């Protein structure tokens, strides 16, 4: 994937993340962007950081439990963890749901 395609695909991901937080009370959890990073902050002080790594064409996610690296799979049209094979939004939804003690889902793209 060339750099322009990578930036376009990750911009779609970033927008999908922001869309998901529109209906959530920002005192519980909120997402902010700074440069190429999205920080998801929780009321208990926990933070997740999502960033794009253009050199490797990956999205990296650091959660409270672990770090993940995602590669784009064109057959699945999804970002897939290079170790577990899980999809980015599955991991992110589950991790956020655990911290806010309620179901959290991302809108379909």
- Could you list the residue range(s) of the whole structural domain that residue 17 is in? 3-99
What's the pLDDT score for residue 109?
66
Is 109 within a domain?
A: no
CATH number, domain containing residue 29: 3.30.920.10
Is 107 within a domain?
A: no
28-80 confidence digits (pLDDT tens): 999 999 888 999 999 999 999 999 999 999 999 999 889 999 999 999 999 99
Is 104 within a domain?
A: no
Write out the chain in H/E/C secondary structure: CCHHHHHHHHHHHHHHHHHHCCCCCCCCEEEEEECCEEEEEECCCCEEEEEEECCCCEEEEECCCCEEEEEEECCCCEEEECCCCCEHHHHHHHHHHHHHCCCCCCCCC
How many domains does one find in the chain? 1
What's the pLDDT score for residue 73?
97
Is 108 within a domain?
A: no
Is 105 within a domain?
A: no
């Amino acid at each position: 994937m060339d750099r322009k395609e990578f930036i376009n695909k990750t911009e779609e991901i970033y927008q999908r993340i922001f869309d998901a937080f529109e209906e959530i009370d920002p005192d519980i959890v909120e997402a902010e962007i700074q440069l190429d990073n999205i920080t998801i902050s929780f009321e208990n002080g926990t933070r997740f950081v999502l960033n794009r790594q253009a050199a490797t064409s990956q999205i990296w996610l650091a959660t409270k439990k672990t770090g993940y690296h995602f590669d784009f799979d064109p057959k699945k049209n999804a970002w897939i963890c290079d170790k577990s094979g899980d999809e980015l939004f599955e991991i992110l939804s589950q991790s956020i749901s655990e911290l806010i003690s309620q179901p959290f889902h991302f809108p379909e793209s």
